[in-house]
Structure 1
Amino acid sequence: MRTVRGWFRDTAGGLPTRFWYLWTGTLINRLGSFVLVFLAIYLTQERGFSASQAGLVIGLWGVGGALGTTVGGTLADRWGRRPTLLTAHLGAATMMLALGLARPLWAVALGALLLGAFAEAARPAFGAMMIDVVPEKDRLRAFSLNYWAINLGFACAAILAGFAAQAGYLLLFVVDAITTLVTAVIIFTRVGETRRVTGPVSRGSAAPAGALRTILSDRIFLGFVTLNLFAALLFLQHISMLPIAMGDSGLSPATYGSVIALNGVLIVVGQLFVPRLIRGRSRSHVLALATLVTGVGFGLTAFAETAWFYGLTVLIWTLGEMLNSPSNATLIAELSPAELRGRYQGVFSLSWQVAGAAAPILGGLVREHAGNTTLWLGCAVVGAVMAVAHLISGPARERRAAELRRVAQPTVPATAVDAPQAAEAAATAPAEPVRAS
């Protein structure tokens, strides 16, 4: 019992109260994330659109997401985290209902575009807020817990959405909109604004042109984002090419659903043990191992023919995903200057949006012209090359993170209204002034 209590204390103890409000908002939001799970089925079976028309709508969702992360990151730095999140969530809830009620193809396409923009605009602000409220020493645990909540909520949503769809697809959109609004209320009433300014340097660098120059000249950060783009291109093959490969093996869509569910189950069961496993280890080595394991998992798909073998490949690349996520998140936090935290989060999120659009296209082209085996073995090669790249670029990233910590300046609240939040942040911060980036 003492061991269990000690593990729980090491995993979840001592985190700021405002983190738990953000965590609760994440879980509630993901529990209601019905629409994206069933959107393709809704468009083709319920609305009678063709596969190409459904692909267009989902693609426009991705285009809107790319725009949303860019705008949301800028607003999070200039306008504030809380107003950006509130606007994004209100807009997403409104467009969720509009999409459910839309009938002509043009209206559905426009609704998906705007929904993607509003939904993804919240992501950089939420990420920046998470970094703002959690001290650096606790971020590995905090990001792991948040990632666990995302996967728990999404796994439950996939099951609940099936029951909700039986009562009518409109209910999916209504419930999704309600949970989005509940999340907005929690953040707006319980978390408050967390953005803080750091003096003349921050005000100067917050100008759009200056911020863009800073990001574009940050080769270490952009190199890391590029590596994440390739990791996302590799990982997202499980959505596009994996179901096709399983279909070629004579396996049903239901079997694919059961196999891919292993991903969420393993994360929910094991993710909370990851921080203790990797604590104190070189992040570059952890990321290198994560990408190598992920590549091996996808590479083994080339030899899979049965459901159990496909399940084994999913378990392997899920282990890579579990190692990658918290290390990725903490490193991005430390590479982001405090005054540009939202925009750095936006650029990082943009790599996922680009991969979401490009992964099925590239995977399909490789599969069509070079074959299924080449596609999956190519994934293994990409994973190995990325592992080497992490080992080579890791020392420079850690030096940059250490430099940002050394030059950090004490922060002050942006407005008098933020004084209570600043006081709480000071109370939970390390004894010596350390930049929260």
Structure 2
Amino acid sequence: MKSVISLYKNAFGGLSPAAWMLALVIFINRSGTMVIPFLSVYLTSSLGFTLVETGWVMGAFGLGAIVGSFLGGWLTDKIGNFKIQTFSLIGGGVMFFALSQVKDFYPLTIFIFCVSVISEMMRPANQISVASYAKPENVTRAFSLNRMAINLGFSVGPALGGLLAAVSYDSLFIVDGVTCIGAGLVFFFYFRNKQPNKNAPKSVDEETRDKSVWKDYPFIGFILLVMCFAIVFFQLFGTWPIYHREQFMLSEQEIGLLLGLNGIIVFLFEMILVYKIGEKISIHKLIVFGTVLNGLAFICLYAIEAKFGLYIACVIISFAEIFAMPFMVTHTVNRSGKKNKGAYMGLYAMGFSSAFMFAPLVGTNLIAEIGFRHTWLVLAIFAFFVAISFYVVMKKIRPQVKSGSVIVTE
């Protein structure tokens, strides 16, 4: 028992107070994440939308996330991450209040696009904050702490959201809005006079230090693969809840608990795994392994047509997230420079946002054409292809550094 406690203590040691406060802010924000996990169920069961209409609404959220990620990254390089995060959190909270009153397909599609633009502007700005307040040797652990807070919050949000949804879907929008505004106020009052770490990570790639991200073609190839990874992964929040409801008749509470399991697993294991393997295994190997696990989760759904298969698949995809995502963002930090960090983080966020747009469209349309089971098989094969592509592309980008730290060049 003492060795386990010591392991966790070492894994969390050495992180700055600012890194912990950023984690607290994101935890408050994500603990109220209730609208998006239940959006597909809300649209189909409460508003009576078809699967295809639901896919378009979810796609509009993804398109807004792309625009928001681009604006967030671009504006962060111009006016700084503090203003962007404050505006995104508080403005997004206000928008969630209003969203609960929009019920028709076309107005809802437009409105959720706007909600997404404002909310997702935070993503690149927040990631730059994490890098700015981290010691160079702790950058991956700082990102993992932030992701741990996200997943801890996400383990609370959907579980509580499932209970609230059984009473009233409108309450989901209210709680989501309140936690966004609360997180924005905490962030504003703590960081308004806070200065970033002077020894924050710098680029490890001399050739890309001041280069436009749009001319860094190897990195663009990497982002396209990140998007492909995320298209598969985001089925967890898009088509999986529909599958749970339609094929296994799970209640909102059960769906929320199942989604919460993902957050709990990441919360419990990511930091210690990053700590134990971060200095021993190169980034590209970890990302490839995580992508393979992503595909195996869908093989599990394809092969096991029983309720316990849902839990096994959730466990596997949670470890896919642990082994891939923290190292994807570390690679992005490695690749960027001081003058273009916002652009690099913005493009990275755009990769995930694009996936959030395409994932529901791909998933719902595939299901409409070939059914749930064959959709899982197609997505599994696609994930394995992406894993192979990651291996090829990242081996060619540059010699790999270990994943636990960022090399600093002056």
Question: TM-score range, shorter-chain basis?
Answer: 0.7 to 0.9
For the residue of structure 1 that corresponds to 2:308, the secondary structure is helix
Match of 2:230 in 1: 232
Task: Please identify which structure carries the higher helix content.
Answer: 1
Corresponding letter in the other structure for 1:191 = F
**Greater relative contact order, per chain length (Cα 8 Å cut-off, separation 6+):** 2
Report the AA paired with residue 239 of structure 1: F
| Pair 1:384–1:76, CA change in 2 (3 A) | same
Decide whether the 8 Å contact of 1:42 with 1:169 is kept in 2.
yes
Cα offset, 1:138, TM superposition = 0.5
Deviation of 1:347 after TM superposition, in Å, equals: 1.0
- Looking at structure 2, the residues matched to 315 and 14 of structure 1 have their Cα atoms a distance apart, in angstroms, of 29
- In the alignment, which residue of structure 2 is the partner of 1:380? 380
CA change 1:388–1:169 in 2 (3 A) is closer
Q: Displacement of 1:330 after TM fit?
A: 1.3
> What is the correspondence of 1:162-177 to structure 2 with a 5 Å cutoff?
162-165=162-165, 168-177=168-177
**SS at 2:317's partner residue?**
helix
Matching residue's letter, 1:348: Y
Instruction: Write the distance in 2 (CA, Å) between the matches of 1:60 and 1:139.
Output: 33
Deviations 1:382-406 (A, max 9, x none): 333333333333344444879xx88
Q: CA deviation at 1:348?
A: 1.0
Per the alignment, residue 314 of structure 1 pairs with: 314
Query: Against the structure 1 CA distance between its residues 174 and 308, is the aligned structure 2 distance closer, same or farther, given a 3 Å change threshold?
Result: closer
**2:207 corresponding residue in structure 1:** none
Alpha-carbon shift at residue 44 of structure 1 (Å): 5.2
CA positional deviation for 1:184: 1.6
Matched-pair contact (CA < 8 Å) for 1:129–1:194: no
Q: Find out whether 1:146 has 2:146 as its counterpart.
A: yes
- The one-character-per-residue Cα deviations of 1:131-183 (angstroms, maximum 9, x if unpaired) are 11102211221222211111111121112224444665444333322221222
Aligned to 1:329: 329
Question: Would the alpha carbon gap of residues 243 and 106 (structure 1) be closer, same or farther in structure 2, given more than 3 Å must change?
Answer: closer
What's 1:269 paired with? 268
Cα distance per residue 1:280-334 (max 9 Å; x no partner): 2111111111111221221232212111233223222322221112211211111
Question: Which SS does the other structure have where 1:36 is aligned?
Answer: coil
Q: Structure 1 residues 327, 251: closer, same or farther in 2, change over 3 A?
A: same
After TM superposition, give the deviation of residue 89 of structure 1 in Å.
1.9
Aligned residue number for residue 345 of structure 1: 345
1:251 maps to 2:251: no
**2: CA distance, partners of 1:342 / 1:395:** 25
The count of corresponding residues between Structure 1 and Structure 2 is 395
Structure 1 portions without partners, runs of 5+: 203-210, 410-437
Post-superposition offset of 1:96: 1.6
Identity value in percent = 25
- Give the superposition deviation at 1:377: 3.1
Q: Give me the TM-score of the superposition, normalised by structure 2.
A: 0.84
The one-letter code sitting in structure 2 at the alignment partner of 1:253 is L
Equivalent position SS for 2:36: helix
Report which stretch shifted further, 229-238 or 66-75: 229-238
Change (3 A) 1:12 1:69: same
Compared CA separation, residues 339 and 401, structure 1 to 2 (3 A): farther
Q: Is the 1:296–1:380 Cα contact (8 Å) retained in structure 2?
A: yes
Counterpart of 1:219, as a letter, is Y
- Per-residue Cα deviation, 1:358-383 (whole angstroms, up to 9, x for no partner): 22333344455556554333333333
Distance 1:178 1:144, change over 3 A: same
Tell me the residue number matched to 1:222.
Answer: 220
SS at match of 2:305: coil
How far residue 113 of structure 1 moved from its aligned partner, in angstroms, is 2.0
Q: Distance in 1 between matches of 2:158 and 2:144?
A: 21
**Compared CA separation, residues 377 and 46, structure 1 to 2 (3 A):** closer
Native 8 Å contact 1:247 1:253 kept in 2: yes
**TM-score scaled by structure 1?**
0.79
Q: Which has the larger radius of gyration?
A: 1
Deviation at 1:245, TM superposition (A): 5.1
Distance 1:129 1:381, change over 3 A: same
Pairs within 5 Å for 1:38-187? 38-43=38-43, 54-102=54-102, 107-165=107-165, 168-187=168-187
